[in-house]
Structure 1
Amino acid sequence: MVRMSAEERRESVIRAAVAEFAKRGYYGTSTEAIAKRVGVSQPYLFRLFPGKKAIFAAASLRCVEDVCQVMEESSKGLEGEEAVHAMADAYVRLITEYPEKLQMQMQTYITVAAAEAEGDHEFGEAVRKGWLRLWDIVHLSMGADVNQTATFMAHGMLINTLAAMGFPPEHRVWEGMYPEARVTGRLEKS
């Protein structure tokens, strides 16, 4: 039997946390469920992370980082419309192939709002920092045009909402979302 290093175990906890929190949210997920999914005890889980909030933050920030990486890689060497379409395609592929990434994003927004309402701004600051990194990646890929960046990000949030609500790709609510994508079939899997 091959033993995992603490860092490898930490990575497996983050993956498990994304899966668990994506389904049940921060308040509906127990650390026991995460530990069970990873195959460790809760005390061991808390040797890797100081608490549930830290686990949720790591899972949330991992999802933001994954989206940042997808945007960077897909737009590398491209400009303008080519970059827009490459990033849009890559994002749709990401949330289609890994729906838990989308679900985790949605849970993150809810949890940030709840934490902020309770006066806890630390988690929100960390998430906003990651989101600003995403904004900057998209912004620079689009030639630093603030209106295009805002439109692209707004489309992304609409895609998140429609996908999270389960609208199938052939539904009329998708019309107008990158019209050429519907013709070439880029939004067919959902």
Structure 2
Amino acid sequence: MDRMSAQKRRESVIRAAIAEFARTGYHGTSTAAIAKRVGVTQPYLFRLFPDKKAIFVAALMRSMDDTRLAFERADDGMEGGGQALRAMTGAYAHLMSTCPETLLMQMQGYAAVAAAEAQGDDLIGEVVRAGWMRIWETVHLSLGADADETASFFACGMLGNTLTAIGLPASAGR
């Protein structure tokens, strides 16, 4: 039987953490739940990550990267404008329907910023702001650097996120 490498196990932990944190948030998620989902012990989990916050940050970064990459792949070969907008809208709708935990994880990250910063911890806020700027830039450049169109795209996306978070289909916002 092949043993899973530490890097693959780490990736499994990040994916499990996204699912758990997306569902119950930072404070509502235990490292025991993450370890159980992956099939490892908590001590092994802490050999891969120093603490729960590091797991949360890794999950948050991955969910934001997954979103950015979905937009990047959708825009591959497009020449901006309406064609790029339709491709990225389709990619986002696909991501919301097939991986809602990716988007819900980001929403949990947004919620965690204020609580962490109120306690003097800027790390989560820095990760969220940097991830958001990378996503914004990817979409903004794909849409031909039109700020109003980019803002409108994200406004519709956030409505979709909110509807997904409360258990309604994104199409309910149309």
Deviations 1:33-82 (A, max 9, x none): 11111111111111100100000000011000000000000011211011
Where do 1:42-61 residues align within 5 Å? 42-61=42-61
What's the C-alpha RMSD, in Å, of the aligned pairs? 1.3
User: What stretches of structure 1 of length at least 5 have no aligned partner?
Assistant: 176-190
Q: CA deviation at 1:170?
A: 5.8
TM-score by length of 1: 0.87
Aligned residues: 173
User: CA separation in 2, counterparts of 1:169 and 1:149?
Assistant: 19
Question: In the alignment, which residue of structure 1 is the partner of 2:98?
Answer: 97
Paired residue secondary structure (1:20): helix
Q: CA deviation at 1:108?
A: 1.1
Q: CA deviation at 1:163?
A: 2.1
Deviations 1:11-33 (A, max 9, x none): 00001111111111110111111
Q: Choose 123-132 or 3-12, whichever is displaced more.
A: 123-132
Q: CA deviation at 1:169?
A: 5.4
Larger Rg: 1
2:135 aligned with 1:160? no
User: CA separation in 2, counterparts of 1:64 and 1:99?
Assistant: 12
Q: Choose 71-80 or 159-168, whichever is displaced more.
A: 159-168
Runs of 4+ in 1 over 2 A off after TM superposition: 166-171
Give me the identity figure in percent: 60
Where do 1:1-190 residues align within 5 Å? 1-78=1-78, 79-168=80-169, 171=172, 174-175=173-174
User: What stretches of structure 2 of length at least 5 have no aligned partner?
Assistant: none
User: CA separation in 1, counterparts of 2:171 and 2:139?
Assistant: 27
Paired residue secondary structure (1:126): helix
Q: Choose 50-59 or 121-130, whichever is displaced more.
A: 121-130
Amino acid at match of 1:133: R
